[in-house]
Amino acid sequence: MDESAKSAVGDSAVGGKPAADVTDGSAAVVGVRSGIGAWTAEETRRAIAAAKTIVVKVGSSSLTQPSGHLDVGKLEALAGALANVRLAGANVVLVSSGAIAAGFGPLGFASRPTDVATQQACASVGQGLLMAQYEMAFGRYGVRVGQLLITAGDTMQPQQYRSARRTMATMLELGVVPIVNENDALASNEIRFGDNDRLSALIANMVCADALVLLTDVDALYTAPPKEPGSRRIPFVPNVTAMIDEIRVGGTGSGVGTGGMVTKLEAARMAAVSGIPAVMTCASNAGPALMGDGVGTAFAPVKQRGSAKRLWIKFASHPQGTLVADAGAAAAVRAGRASLLAAGVLEARGDFAAGDAVWIDDEAGNHLARGLVAYDSEEVPDMLGRNTAQLRRLLGDEYAHPLVHRDNLVLV
């Protein structure tokens, strides 16, 4: 590393003002395997079958009839498969779409409304209908369920994120199956998940899940849209980040859902880089998928699981500003775990407080990392370009620390 880079990063610096911690969760290793090397299909499916905490996502089209009405038979079949897993000793979190789809039929609409206000009204009606059916279906097996409605803002803010994580952990300790959905009745188009695929991957991180199961209206991932001649099922993906651009998929969902194959691949990618094995298949294959059978498409983890805090920074935090790194600092950040010091920062943009997430960009405007900044935005300009000794001499000991400590910095 050259001298400019050395002055811009620290190998073992400790923070000045402490950035807000998200959680004290440990860096657990997923499933039944602890190595970083490539997983095999058998190992991936075995880890899913052995998972102690499982997040299952089901889409609207898997729970409704073509007319848009809730299909109670499909819901009961899914509940039975999940109840069996719960009764066998595993924790289960269900991320369920279907509130709008369940509500627009009873309200007299022939298809899913397109305007936000009507969708929200349908969701407010449909969510109650959906939960009533889940309570009855799981109740037949003696399994209790609980509802948790989340907005995108709840995952972006550390305090709300901790609260949601704590609530779900307590529900699981009590043997309850949390049924999670985006709060469609209140969510705005400006800040929302838009579909539950991304939400399910965030929830998998939130509860430190050992497996993610994505249930949809197709039985697996294919090399091209399944109806096209020559399209082949892909039973196993060892590295979804390496192949995600090689598969041609449809980008839109069904008439009752909002997600498509693209969003499910993104959820599988989020799980894989978080150290979580995943499987994607149709809802009728839920039971075999949870048992590790060779249905659908299995996605291997590509990294060991990091701390819950680092996973929140990477996938859920909402950057409030930007720190622009010079060439030396940018190279050091790209190289790995290095703290970003004021000496290597050219400019600070935005209005942020200590503990907020910020982007770390290079001079060309490319995002290099996200991190939790240790100082308020009005404090940073006086610190820029100064090394540690200068900061201590001119501003005091409390400023002689990284702008973003390496423990609070995640490459993107």
Give Rg (Cα) of the chain: 23
Question: What's 304's DSSP letter?
Answer: -
User: Is 57 one of the annotated binding-site residues?
Assistant: yes
Contacts of 94 by beta carbon, 8 Å cutoff, 6+ apart: 56, 57, 58, 82, 134, 145, 177, 178, 179, 180
Phi, psi of 186 (to 5 degrees): -120, -20
User: Is 264 one of the annotated binding-site residues?
Assistant: yes
Question: What's 158's DSSP letter?
Answer: H
**SS (HEC) of 119-134:** HHHHHHHHHHHHHHHH
Distance (Å, rounded) from C-alpha 278 to C-alpha 301? 8
User: Is 259 one of the annotated binding-site residues?
Assistant: yes
User: Is 22 one of the annotated binding-site residues?
Assistant: no
Distance (Å, rounded) from C-alpha 377 to C-alpha 374? 10
Using CB atoms within 10 A of its CB, is residue 12 exposed (0-12), middle (13-18) or buried (19+)? exposed
User: Is 223 one of the annotated binding-site residues?
Assistant: no
User: Is 294 one of the annotated binding-site residues?
Assistant: no
Distance (Å, rounded) from C-alpha 390 to C-alpha 383? 9
User: Is 196 one of the annotated binding-site residues?
Assistant: yes
Structure tokens at 193: 């998940």
Q: How far is CA 167 from CA 3, 18, 164, 171, 176, in A?
A: 48, 25, 5, 6, 11
Do strands 145-150 and 233-234 pair parallel, antiparallel, or not at all (unpaired)? unpaired
Distance (Å, rounded) from C-alpha 360 to C-alpha 257? 35
Which is nearest to 255 in space by CA: 126, 56, 69? 69
Structure tokens at 2: 């050259």
User: Is 297 one of the annotated binding-site residues?
Assistant: no
User: Is 216 one of the annotated binding-site residues?
Assistant: yes
User: Is 175 one of the annotated binding-site residues?
Assistant: no
User: Is 309 one of the annotated binding-site residues?
Assistant: no
| Burial call 140-162: b when 16+ CB within 10 Å, e when fewer | eeebebbebbbbbbbbbbbeebb
Which is nearest to 239 in space by CA: 298, 296, 290, 293? 298
Annotated binding site: 57, 97, 184, 196, 216-217, 258-264
Annotated binding site for substrate: 97, 184, 196
